[in-house]
Structure 1
Amino acid sequence: MPHYIRFLKPPKVVAALKTGCFVETLITITTDLGDAFLAEDAGLLSILQITDNNGLIIESFEETSSWTAGNRELKISFGPCQLAAAAHAARLSVRDASGGIVDRLEPSKAPSIVTAWSTSFGIAAGLQAEKLVERCFKLEIGPHLKAWEETGNSIARHIWDAALGCVMEIQNAYMRLDGSIPTLQKLFYEQKDTSLRVIELGTGCGIVGISIAQIVPHCSVLLTDLEEVHDIINRNLECATLARMSKAQFWVLDWDEQVPKQIAHHGCDLIVVSDCTYNADSLPALVQILTALVRISPSAIVLVALKKRHDSEEVFFDLMKKAEFEIDSHTVVPLPTLDAENESIDIELYAFRKDPPVDS
């Protein structure tokens, strides 16, 4: 499975002298949920960029380091670096030394170790970066997909593996590649005169919904989740470059409550659910809100992306069947891993639709 570089301690200048400055950070490399550390050796490349007031790079420094199997954290240091003007800012990236400049999230290609970019931080000693990390992915279609996530303990504001697989399937279907979900292909191209209406549930950082708005022209995407993700979503929406005539916005949606009028009025042709089936306790509410949304838009397709973590997730399929949803089509997107067997991890994607009423 992919592993993610995270800043345990955001980078900061620990000393600023006349001869140069010293920058330090503390990183870890974990799974999407942070429940396991990378158990293989890996070479890392760290790049410190100094930018001027216009954001242009005026200096760049590189350091190589090694992550050793068994590590839980790794300190990375720069210095002495030639001191730039105090008004200038710095930014640090840490990546797999064997990877490319930008992580590729193209069909059948995904990073084994996902690069981390810090926010900008001041040259003056003690001014550290925010507790955020930016991910940047090169897509097959359109501009790079960028998303900020938090470095703290809230997994609601982290990127999960299923999101990467779902973005890859969105590209596959839009490009009409073999093996992608036919229902999704048709949906992307059958909307002739009206916008494709998309609602994402449990959007988290918003990477899936934003990717749809960046890839598919003439679509309207509602990213929904609880209020706690509002700030990170807005930040990611601000840095998104959307496709022609497409738009995306965030609305608060609690699965235990009625569908707000604004969301009901929006309607939906596609409902996206990425990695929301891991918590068995929330599954009745999830199926309940899906049922409510499809009652509003009876022809809507429900796209579910998941990485099966335990057997309890099978309850979701039982509940969907009881709610008269049927699986229209299914595909698998493999993600790479760095374990000794070099096996991939499968992201499963299902397209559901509501059973048609039986004529009496």
Structure 2
Amino acid sequence: MRGLQGFEIRAPPRRNSSPNLSLVMESIMNKTSRVFATLLCASMTGFILNAQAATSKLAADDSDEQPPALAVGALQVSTDAPLTVTAMSIEVTADKIAYSYGFKNERSTAIDMLGTVTMPTLDASGQDDAPQLPRLDAGNPVGLKVATSAGPIATKAHAKAWALEMNRQAELAAANIPLLPFGSETIKALQDAPADVIAKLKRLGLIAPRDPAKPTEAYEPAWSLDVTRELDISLPANAETRVNLAFSPIRSDYELAQENDDDLDELKGEYCLSPSTLARLRARMKSGAGWQVSELAVDVSAPSTAFSAPAATLSVRKPSENAIVAFCGADEKTLGAETVAGLAPDDIEDGELHILIFSPADR
């Protein structure tokens, strides 16, 4: 069974206390630039792995690492017409996230507006570090679907593959290289590419430098993928319209075992665990049993900064009656119910709320 060390390592960068290669490089990218990070990638590898071993008192080995949960961006819209957002609700299960927005058009004519939904940035990763994508589809890895009462709404993908601060999506497409910066299909495409194509991709910073001691090892991607899906929304005159989005989450799964009992307090502040929740978690772990944990990330941002919107309401359905749900803003009166309700706090960093679902693990 996995321990809390896996949780510490795979947590998002803002909460990570133990250096991890992919997360540290992400931090470098944010603070400096992708140019600097790409040039440093090879030389930093040894340093980061050494720091990881020295500073993480819980980390056992690299095989214990888990990729983090990633949030799909909330719907964003643009219009200069007067518009009222009447509701924003988010329904969550371990396998599905569904948003519902209420838009009220009080004009006597229809409002046509542009909407976007942003996929999480996907960075170059090794096989063990790659996020758990529901679908190996670079343009729509979560299977996003959008609809109103009038029917489905088509969405269009806009992809950018970043290397050395340049968008190289066109170059990858011309070379017949998949856009996902990880995975067996991408690795195979790089291995099968002609020498002149490989030379060009190296020059553009799209392929990571090889270890000089391993000149025959497989080529590895070095780009980051950003995808935004665009949609057109029509709001009929003098009516309220519900716009519904649904997709599969990119979650992080791991286990908590008996030896992690003393570390549960670290979760209390980060995930707003109630005293009763901590007591239930501890009771099972002290008995020698553990918990299977699924972490999900949801974006609770309003659809626009141009007009006001109510705070998002959340409802998280438990996978079983013995499961436990925890997130900041949860209504404690509903913690024992089949569905835990709550209201998104207004002080969430970057609008990203993390939800934990604890299910009893097999003994």
TM range (shorter): under 0.3
TM-score (norm 1): 0.27
1 or 2, which has the higher strand percentage? 1
TM-score (norm 2): 0.27
Q: Quick one: higher RCO (CA 8 Å, sep 6+), 1 or 2?
A: 2
1 or 2, which has the higher helix percentage? 2
